Structure 1
Amino acid sequence: MIIHPGGQHIGTVGGGCGEANVIKTGLDVIESGQPETVTVDLTDDISMDAQAVCGGVMEIFVERW
């Protein structure tokens, strides 16, 4: 996934709230220059009610390129 300084992005990590967190972190990394890791947890009960959610946990490394 590529995140531009204005918030536009190319690609996806799966959509939804988890992707919004990755985009926010990406914008923070663009500003700070410091890489970060985002944990996206799709295993809680609320998320599992959605038919499109597969569940699981993703660890996403975000760095400025």
Structure 2
Amino acid sequence: MLAKKLLEETRSQKGLSKRVDAWFQSNAFAISRTKSVFSRLRAEKTPDLAMITVALRELKRLA
């Protein structure tokens, strides 16, 4: 789903690398937030269900 969204949102761009760059630029805040959530999740010795749920929700928002 994430790849599909990337391709749909960057139709006007030519070349895969330009499309990926454009998608990253237009989604920079959400990507940063998602990376932060996953970093905190990885740092936990035993993540709980709430943390996993939040991480999955953030990933879903990107897609």
| Bucket of the pairwise TM-score, normalised by the shorter protein | 0.3 to 0.5
Rg bigger for which structure?
2
**TM-score, normalising length: structure 2:** 0.34
Larger fraction in strand: 1
Larger fraction in helix: 2
